[in-house]
Homo-oligomer: A and B are copies of this chain.
Amino acid sequence: MSTIRDVAKEVGCSTATVSRALSNPEKVSKASLKRIHTAIDKLQYRPNMLSQQFRNKQAKTIVILVPDIANLFFSTVISGIENVAQNKGFNVLLGDTRDSSEREANFVKLVETKQADGIIQLRPYSEDSLLPRKFVTAVNACGCENTPYPSVRIDNIDAARQVTEYLISLGHKKIGIISGLNDNPHTIDRMQGYLLALADAGIEFDKNLVAEGDFNLWSGLNASDHFARMEEPPTAIVSMNDEMAIGAMKGLKSKGFRIPEDISITGFDDNPFSKYCDPPLTTVAQPAEKLGEKAAQLLFQLIEGESEKQSEFVLPIDFIIRQSTAPPKK
């Protein structure tokens, strides 16, 4: 491959002029410009970006830390990030961490070693988090309350509260919940919303009505067994995401429960499939793509040094009522 020097030699000018022709064309005479571009075409010159990045001390690249890329919610958020990054002329490095903190550390190192200029973390903050961190520009997306670095998220507590209140307003009193893993921050926030709604309505919390899942389809199916086996099953179930709700619906239907006649169920996320399952799922739509876009914008502001070090954006959710919920039969 030819270098800037080859082009300069071909034209009979200095490398500085070629460099200027590409980055500040207005500072070069029309005549030179023309001859330079001819030479570039002829030699098929492509600037070596590795050199540029090195010289400019900027990789023009950001990293996304994602627990699982094969998850529709995350991949939609990523979609939003890509939108903004492409506009900004930044590349997006994929950091599929599979919940391994070793892998996470490797990706964080990319920023420390200048291979990337910033990080978007798609996992809620926890005590053992590698972020925030000195020399590492980072924002958090889709996290929870009290994230100690710039973040974009929804109000999980309020969302879960809305869902539960809706079920209560339909007349439900015995409301089960399928949670994520107990120590997951999303689980904690959403559980709090559920508890607040119950308390407001004067319904006593029954810990037997909690089934722990892990946000995957099968764990919802699994959780539904717990409820189906109860002498007096709940008349409604709040699921902390759509996948588990869909898994639970399958389990409940196979055991003869009709939805929503015998038991109502709600989800969380508004997965594309939730509209097409049977019955369509009442759920909380997160603005996944917008979360990604906003997070990316925030990160670029930080990279460009335009923003405060601490800031937090809470995006609105959309509560979507479909056919998986109804008043309890009397």
Contact = CB atoms under 8 A, between A and B. Distances in A.
Interface of A: 1, 46-51, 53-54, 57, 59, 61, 64, 68-72, 75-76, 78-79, 82, 86, 91-94, 96, 103, 106, 109-110, 112-115, 135, 217, 221, 246-247, 249-250, 253, 272-273, 275-278
A50 B114 CA distance: 6
Contacts of A79: 68-70, 96
B217 A276 contact: yes
Contact of A94 (B54, B78, B113, B115): B78
Contact of A51 (B54, B71, B96, B275): B54
Contacts of A250: 276, 278
A217 B50 contact: no
Closest 5 A/B residue pairs (Cβ): A49-B113, A54-B54, A82-B96, A49-B115, A50-B54
Given A276-B221, A278-B250, A70 B59 contact: no
Most buried by B among A1, A82, A246, A250: A82
Contact of A46 (B91, B106, B112): B112
Contacts of A48: 54, 113-114
25 contacts: A46-B109, A46-B113, A47-B113, A48-B113, A49-B110, A49-B113, A50-B57, A50-B59, A50-B115, A53-B115, A68-B79, A69-B75, A70-B75, A70-B76, A70-B78, A72-B75, A79-B96, A86-B103, A86-B106, A93-B94, A217-B272, A217-B275, A249-B276, A250-B278, A253-B278
B70 A217 contact: no
A108 to B, nearest CB: 11
A47 B247 CA distance: 48
